[in-house]
Amino acid sequence: MEKERKKSSAGERLPEEKYPSFRERSETTDLIVEISLHPWNAFRPDGVNIFSDILMPLLAFRVEFDVEDVRGPVIQSPIRTKEGLKALHPIDLEKLSFVGDSLKILRKEVGVDAAILGFMGAPWTIAIYIVEGGTTRTYTTIKSMCHTAPHLLRTLLSHLAQAIADYVVFQVESGAHYIQIFDSWGGELPPDMWKRWSKPYIKEIWSRKDVLKPETLIVLYINGNGSLLKHIKDTGVDVIGLDWTVDMGDGRRRLGSGIGVQGNVDPAYLFSPLPTLTEEIQRLAI
């Protein structure tokens, strides 16, 4: 959709061209709203995702980070010791007021014509960035902590779970109809380790569901979740996002009928001709 949106805006300077700093775009209310509404104004889908990033809560923990063009997220002071953990503050939602203000404006802009979608990272995924100091291909430091400093890691994950639960409530109260939790790197764990190091903290977030509006849906997406489906379905979430490596029919059978599923077109199809993309979407939807 974003690719097609850029095509439809040919000759127009896009926000990412006018404001090349990702941090500026994702922390400025007017820009967040403008970018979030671009695809909706062009195509009128039934949902509008807020333009943001899963690392935004780090600002509210006073964990300094930047987003570099090549390296991606970079954490200035990774947390790997008890002393480092002491510097992790409780979440201060005032520092995320631009998220709340943007959701309120988006809710007003689209009215009843579309749902507003908020999102955040799961505790395990956020912990990877905090511990590793940024993106990683090996996850060596945090996986080592599972064995060498399990108490420290559990304390960090519990802190994140509580904070992210507060952030869920904050987004819903600000106007989000649905919330998607991204455990982007959960699939890097073997099933047994995911059950120990990610699942309990997702369930801890879910335990706050009773304070949300009854119609609020929580969606869980784990990249590479094929081997985890039987462990995911009792997390309490309403919908599971299947990635493109999982057959939709097989995923539905394995999850059962008591939970929603969404997904799962390979993003590479966005670079295909429109008829090819349309055919794939229809194949999955029927």
- Is the pLDDT at 11 greater than 80? The verdict is no
- Nearest alpha carbon to residue 234 among 188, 202, 187, 193: 202
Residues 5, 280: Cα–Cα separation, whole Å: 19
Q: What pLDDT digit, counting tens, does each position of 176-200 carry? A: 999 999 999 999 999 999 999 999 9
Q: What pLDDT digit, counting tens, does each position of 55-73 carry? A: 999 999 989 998 888 888 9
Residues 203, 195: Cα–Cα separation, whole Å: 11
- Is the pLDDT at 4 greater than 60? The verdict is no
pLDDT (average), residues 19-28: 89
Confirm if 93 and 167 have CB atoms less than 8 A apart.
yes
Domain boundaries, the chain: 2-215
Q: What pLDDT digit, counting tens, does each position of 155-178 carry? A: 999 999 999 999 999 999 999 999
CB atoms within 10 A of CB 270: 13
Please state which architecture CATH assigns to domain 2-215: Alpha-Beta Barrel (3.20)
